[in-house]
Chains A and B, each alone.
Chain A
Amino acid sequence: MLGLFSSLDCSLDVFFVEALLNGVLLAGLLALLALGLNLIFGVIDVVWICYAELVMIGMYAIFYFVQVAGIPLPLSFLLAIGLVACAGTILHYLVIRPVLDQPPINQLLVTGGVLFLLQAAATMAFGIEFRNLGIRLGSVNIGDMSFAWSRIITFAVALGAMILLWQFLTRTYIGTAIRAISQDRQIMPLMGVDQKKIYLATSAIGGGLAGLASCLMVLQYDIYPQIGLQFGPLTFMICVLGGLGNMVGGFVAAFIIAQFITIGGSCVATEWGYAVAFLFFMLVIFVRPQGLFGAKS
């Protein structure tokens, strides 16, 4: 493996280690993105194709709150998380609920319509220019390697959010009900759990996770209407690779994919890193259609 990389003009030196560690930091963000989508799929059995667009809406909301309304950054973050959580609930109520008894593929496509809608709405409201908050957090230097603080914070927060979600799912009544419904959709209503309420709560949590991701992404990335197309396909790939609905699997898959992107990116060119990641994904799914950690259906 290492021999292969060295032949690609990339020996085992500090740059390689730097890329490796940056990959780990990127994996935190990708794992957080995959977590929300996996939660929604596991419980409601619907793939939100527009998930990354919800993140984009959150990023623009933070930009608006800070730059136009002059709200301090931490408060803007909280408002954005709340806003995207509301957006998730509305999405479920208005769009998903009417198609719950249609074929699964229509449920996937209807959220694709929302993708176009949100992207166009963002373009109309903010234009196609790249925008950012101009936050510079600096970086840490370890030897010859340098790591941006924004990436380290992102990784830590993403990890914290995952632990919190796990605690919520195992320690609270709603959390237990959510896990139960993802195991057996038919029995739970008979046990006195209101399915509609659980679906709404799940959508709100999924949206909230997208909102949290948007807070972390404004620290690192420029905001533009098409940013969802950059992160969306990547998120689906991670979810499917880890086994749709399997949150731990998604976490591991995020690490694998992030390594392909950062190491491939630092050895050849960014898009080739992505291309190899997509190719790897297809090959794995051909051999294990249920994903790396999915149960056989």
Chain B
Amino acid sequence: MITQKHIAWAIGLAALLLLPLLIRMIFPGTDRYYLHLVIQILIWAFIYTGWSMMGRFGLTSLGHGAFTGIGAYVTVMLWNFAGITPWIGIPVAMLVATIAGMLVGYPCFRMRITGHYFALLTLAFTEFIRLCIIGMRDWTGGSLGTQPTRYGDGLSLYAVQFEPNRVLAYYIVLAVWLIGLIIWVKVDRSMDRYALDAASQDEDAAASVGINVTREKLKITALSSAMCAFGGAIYGQYQMYIGPDTIAGLGVSLNIVFAVIAGGIWSLFGPTFGAVFTQVLAETLRVGLRGSETLSKLLGQSALALDTFIYGLLLVLFIIYMPKGVIGTLGERWKRR
């Protein structure tokens, strides 16, 4: 049966498929820039969705900057130094991230490390991975970052490089983002979701009705870390530059957590909205400040930090007044009507 919901989905998908055309019509000449913005939003939306898999069950990890970093660096290192195609490199990177996630996750879940301790422990894990990346500077370029070696003209199926063709990059990233949403829905409808919901509220009670809490948590951690590694790898392939502070480390971890909190942690489109919100805010402020004579004269070079300032302020306000995020709060209003 075709319901209203199905029609809405179909229209939404059609609009997304036609988006590059629309952008070209509305912004002729600058369409590359706007497509770039949309691509960035979709990549981060996928990573945020990957994080929210764990975050929604009370596993507030500050360690996902490590997974995105592993994803990006393992893929690029294998390509640059061993000549291994990302078709193999990306699965390897996802495997490495999953194993790392298991190594940190298993003792945590076994010893019942939750709340503050879990957040601070995963924070240490992120820092550890970032320091390792910087430490291996002969390969990774240290804190300056590195670039994947270009294959031919930088457009290659074999090397998974698609940066010069923005429209192609858009469709690839759109597919990635849709896969993320499908995984979210699958998890949402699975038995594991109920088990994890129960475990996040009361571990003892959940265990007493026969839920293997440690195993359920490990399953979701594996999924979440693999997704974030995949997102990090795609980010590296598109940006053609990876740095320890742009794709790994505490800064990335905090960005992930905050964007999802702002968007809404318990809804399908919450993480995506968080990505739209943070990217558009940063870009608008950057462009707006460059355009405005008075503001740039007043703030000078330091105007670049204004977006972070407003971002931080909004996050504080969001957590105080809208702990369920924008989408969550709006959804509740909608239901109440």
Tell me the A residues contacting B by CB distance below 8 Å. Answer: 47, 95, 98-99, 102, 104-106, 108-110, 112-121, 123-128, 225, 229, 233, 236-237, 240, 244, 269, 271-272, 274-275, 278-279, 281-282, 285-286, 289
Contacts and interface: CB of A to CB of B under 8 A. Distances in A.
Contacts of B323: 102, 106
Contact of A105 (B60, B128, B250): B60
B111 A289 contact: yes
Interface of B: 58, 60, 104, 107-108, 111-113, 115-117, 119-121, 123-125, 127-128, 131-132, 134-135, 250-251, 254, 257-258, 261, 299, 301-309, 311-316, 318-320, 323
B31 to A, nearest CB: 31
B312 A281 contact: no
Contact of A109 (B117, B121, B258): B258
Contact of B121 (A112, A126, A282): A282
Contacts of A279: 128
B120 A237 contact: yes
Nearest to B318: A113
B201 to A, nearest CB: 11
B319 A99 contact: yes
Given A123-B302, A282-B125, A108 B119 contact: yes
Nearest to A269: B135
A104 B119 CA distance: 11
A116 B311 contact: yes
Nearest to B55: A105
A275 B131 contact: yes
A112 B128 contact: no
B67 to A, nearest CB: 15
A120 B305 contact: yes
Given A104-B116, A229-B251, A116 B131 contact: no
A233 B111 contact: no
Given A124-B299, A274-B131, A114 B112 contact: no
Contact of A99 (B250, B301, B312, B320): B320
B312 A286 contact: no
Nearest to B308: A120
Nearest to B131: A275
Contacts of A275: 128, 131-132, 135
A99, A116, A128, A229: most-surrounded residue (chain B CB, <10 A): A116
Contacts of A285: 113, 117, 121
B112 A289 contact: yes
Contacts of A105: 58, 60, 115-116, 119
B118 to A, nearest CB: 9
A115 B311 CA distance: 11
A6 B258 CA distance: 45
A113 B107 contact: no
Contacts, number: 138
A126 B302 CA distance: 8
A127 B302 contact: yes
A279 B132 CA distance: 11
A114 B316 contact: yes
B117 A240 contact: yes
Contact of B312 (A116, A233, A271): A116
A155 to B, nearest CB: 25
Q: In terms of DSSP, what is the predominant structure of the interface of chain A?
A: helix
Contact of A116 (B104, B111, B315): B315
A115 B62 CA distance: 15
Contacts of A123: 302, 304-305, 308
B309 A120 contact: yes
B324 to A, nearest CB: 11
A95 B313 CA distance: 11
B124 A281 contact: yes
A236 B315 contact: no
Contacts of A110: 315-316, 319-320
Contacts of B112: 289
A233 B315 contact: no
Contacts of A99: 319-320
Contacts of B116: 47, 104-105, 108, 244
A156 to B, nearest CB: 30
17 contacts: A95-B316, A108-B60, A109-B258, A112-B315, A120-B305, A120-B307, A127-B301, A127-B302, A271-B131, A275-B131, A275-B135, A279-B128, A285-B121, A286-B108, A289-B111, A289-B112, A289-B117
Contacts of B132: 275
A282 B106 CA distance: 12
B261 A109 contact: yes
Contacts of A237: 120, 124
A282 B305 contact: no
A112 B127 contact: no
Contacts of B121: 240, 282, 285
A95 B315 CA distance: 11
B104 A282 contact: yes
The 7 A-B residue pairs whose C-beta atoms are closest, nearest first, are A116-B312, A117-B312, A113-B315, A120-B309, A286-B107, A123-B305, A120-B308
Contacts of B299: 124
B128 A278 contact: yes
Contact of A278 (B124, B134, B311, B316): B124
Given A105-B116, A236-B120, 14 more contacts: A102-B319, A109-B261, A109-B319, A113-B258, A115-B254, A123-B304, A124-B306, A233-B123, A271-B134, A274-B127, A275-B135, A278-B124, A278-B128, A286-B107
Contacts of A271: 131, 134-135
